[in-house]
Each structure stands twice: as structure tokens, then as C-alpha cells.
Chains A and B, each alone.
Chain A
């Protein structure tokens, strides 16, 4: 009896989660359809571009800088076991560009942007600002959601690109100053080893992660409960869901780009 009750509770949780996935998917599709239908709010888009892209640059840059440095140390320590220290520049580059740049960039943007979007929109909902938008003949999906989703989809690949360069530079600084690599050789190996497809796959991942982050942030903001607790729950759910979806999407995209 206890087992059945436990299974029932688990089943209910799974069904609730699937319902959220369904609603989120419909929300994302509705957002995309607004791309094709005016009016468009250019000022809101530019504002979102600054908030999501430009203002996320320091946190993404710092994250990738330290990660690139740590990656160089780890690869050096591992490769030294079979005298293959020369692979450090190439593995740092490929690791940053294909995986760590987009995933860490996406996660940092999820932490910074999904939370702020969800909190902002949830607060607007609680204080009836969303209702006010509707009474002022303005569709909240067009005014609030589309500009943020579009801005994140365009800005995150740029952040990933900058993060890739900074991450590789982090590895370079550690390689040259701590691991006695020749500066010119390090850069040449990095440049020679990277392929166009490596860079592009990371940027495409960035675009997908940006879309996920903003869509999830807007979704939880628009569907928040009442009061401070509702805003807090929306913010937490947005960050958790965006992070999990980034990891899931990363696996799927890696399968698509690199499976043999």
C-alpha cells in the first residue's frame, strides 16, 4: 500500500513535470510566431540586448578566463603521465570552443539573466503591470517576451565567442607563465588545431542556450504565483529549469554535431 502510494506520488510528479514541459513548448512556439507578426518593439529589444549581452560580458569573461587557466593546468598534469604535454594548447582550445565556452557561458547567463527576467516579469504580474499592458492595447508576449528572447538568442553566441577567446587566453597565460610553453608556439598550435566547425558548433549552442534562458525566464515570470513567495518560486524555477535544459540541449547538440 505504501509502495503504491509512493508510486502514485512519483507518477503525479512526472505528469506535472510533463505538463510544464508542454506549456513551456507552447509558450516558446507562440513567442516564435510573434516574430512574424508586427508590431515590433525595437527599443525594448535594444534595451534587452544591453541587459543580456553587454552587462553579462564581465561575468562570462571572468568565468571563462579562470576555467581556461584551470583547464591548462589539469591537462598538463594529466598529459604529463604519458609525456604528452604538447597537447595542452590544442585540448584547451577544443575544450573551450566546443564545450566549456558555450556551456559555462550559457549557465552564467542562466544564473544572471533567467533569474532577473523571471523576477522582473513576475513582479510586473503581481503588481498588475501585465494587466495594465493589456488594457493599454499592448500584447505582453510582444512587448516583454519576444524582445528578451530575440536579444538572448543573438547575444549569447557573441558572449560565447568572446568567452572562447578569453578562455583560450586564460590557458595561454597559464601555459606561458606557469608551464614554460613558448608563447608563439602555443598560439600557433591553438590556431592550427581549431577548425571552423569547432567554433561554429559552439556558437550554435550559444544561440540555443540563449533562446532557452530567455524563454524559460519569461515563462516562469508570466506564470508566477502571487506575492513575494510567488516571485521567489518563479525565479528559482527559472534558473533550475534553464540550467537543466542547457545540459540536455548540450548533449543533444553534441550528438548532432560530433557523433561518429
Chain B
């Protein structure tokens, strides 16, 4: 279980998180929604330790994420970045097998390649993609490779940062379905940040709405449309009028 308690984070004079509280149950898929610049990525990166909060507590299974063996902690996570964040200098299979070729999870090269090809197949890519370089792939294929890399070491927790941004609706649907299938199949805990409502309905067990640095509403995805929360209503219905100020 991941718990965030009263997490604050500022960048200079700009307060991004102002006391965020959130609980993500083990094995569930939590989707965090909110407008651009509301701190969704900061929240996600704070859990991973890529950003250090100014105050508050983040725990994983009761343990503070800032203490203990960092490698062992990170080995429990997989992450799909917004732009896939594939390493340009490495081939596709080397990207997917990156974690399997170094550190505590190191395997022989041939085994790592086999696992990479199997994971590529799992995300719908053929083995002949394995020896290409990221620059030779389309945006959708890069996202799939990023997804294959995120699941390569079979992590307990997977984070997805804007998984469908920049993709056409059909490819977005494919990625959403893949994420849902993989999370269920692996029994992993998932945390996704997005402002794509189609993704929310496809991926989420639970939804949290982040606005103005705090979680305004959280609950099961089935309750989202009848929440009665004015912030959530405005956001999910895409209305310009409401408590969330829309800059025209």
C-alpha cells in the first residue's frame, strides 16, 4: 500500500503540492486526474524519490520511502514515462532489458534478450523490432516499448505518466487496454496520471482528483459521475464554467 500524508512541495515561490493526502491499496489501479500544472507528475515523482518533498510523509507498505536500500526499493517499481524516455543509444531490446543486464537483477545476455522479446510480444510488437533503435519507431511503438521496459522485471508497482499523450484515439485505446490487461495479469499496484477521461474509465479502479495542490476528491471510478463534487464534475465533463478557473 502506498500512502501520502500531508505532502508539500514548492519550486521557488510556486507551491505545487499543498498537503496532498492519498492512499493506494495494494493490487488496485489508481488514476490521478487534474489539469495541466496541478502537480500530478510531481506527486508521482515524489513517491519514486525523483523529487524530495518539502514536508509530509510518503510510505510504501508502512516504510518511509526515503530510508532504506534504494536499489531494493526501486526494484519494486516499473515506470512508463510520458515520452517513453527510451535511451537513444541503445537498441529496443537493450532498452527493454536494461534492468536485467545490470545490478541485482542481472541475467546472462541471451536470457535478457529472450525476456525482452517476450515482453515486446506481450505489448504487441514483433521480434524484428528488437534490433531497431528508438528513433526508428513511431510514437505508439515507443510507448509500447516503454511499457515493455516497465514490466520487464515484473515489478509489484507500475507508474504510468500520461500514457496516451500524443497518440491517436485508436492507439490510445490499444495502450489503455494493454495497461489494464497487464496490471490485472500481474496483480500489480498501478498509479496512473492522466487528463484523458477515456484512459481513466479504461484503466482505473479508483480515481483521485488533484487540484490546487490537494486531492479534492477520491473514490471508485464507478462513483465518479455521481460524486456531486463541483471540481470533479467540471473536469470530467470538460466544462469551461465552474470552480476551476479556465484561462482563455
- Chain A interface residues (CB < 8 Å from chain B): 39, 41, 47, 124, 127-129, 131-132, 134-138
Contact = CB atoms under 8 A, between A and B. Distances in A.
B178 interface: no
A135 B76 CA distance: 10
Contact of B103 (A124, A131, A134, A138): A138
Interface of B: 45, 48-50, 70-71, 74-75, 77-79, 81-83, 85-89, 98-99, 102-104, 149
A103 to B, nearest CB: 31
Contacts of B103: 39, 137-138
A7 B45 CA distance: 41
Contact of B74 (A47, A124, A129, A135): A135
B195 to A, nearest CB: 18
A135 B75 contact: no
A137 B71 contact: yes
Contact of A132 (B75, B87, B89, B104): B87
A41 B106 CA distance: 13
Contacts of B88: 124, 129
Contacts of B77: 135
Nearest to A123: B88
B81 A136 contact: no
Contacts of A131: 45, 50, 81, 85
7 contacts: A47-B89, A128-B82, A129-B88, A132-B81, A135-B74, A136-B98, A138-B103
Contacts of A138: 98, 102-103
Nearest to A134: B50
B120 to A, nearest CB: 17
A237 B247 CA distance: 36
Contacts of A128: 81-83, 85
Nearest to A132: B85
Given A127-B85, A128-B82, A129-B88, 9 more contacts: A41-B102, A124-B87, A124-B88, A128-B81, A131-B45, A134-B50, A136-B98, A136-B149, A137-B70
A138 B149 CA distance: 14
B203 to A, nearest CB: 20
Contacts of A137: 70-71, 74-75, 99, 103-104
A39 B101 CA distance: 12
Given A136-B99, A138-B103, A129 B85 contact: yes
Nearest to B95: A132
With most chain A CB atoms within 10 A of its CB, the pick from B45, B70, B85, B88 is B85
The 10 closest A-B pairs by CB, nearest first: A132-B85, A128-B85, A137-B74, A135-B79, A128-B81, A137-B71, A136-B99, A129-B85, A137-B103, A136-B98
B71 A127 contact: no
A158 B217 CA distance: 63
Contacts of B81: 128, 131-132
A129 B135 CA distance: 14
Contacts of A124: 87-88
Contacts of A127: 83, 85
Contacts of A132: 79, 81, 85-87
Contact of A129 (B71, B79, B87): B87
A97 B96 CA distance: 48
B72 to A, nearest CB: 9
Nearest to A44: B89
Contacts of A135: 48, 50, 74, 77-79
With most chain B CB atoms within 10 A of its CB, the pick from A127, A132, A135, A136 is A136
A137 to B, nearest CB: 5
Contacts of B99: 136-137
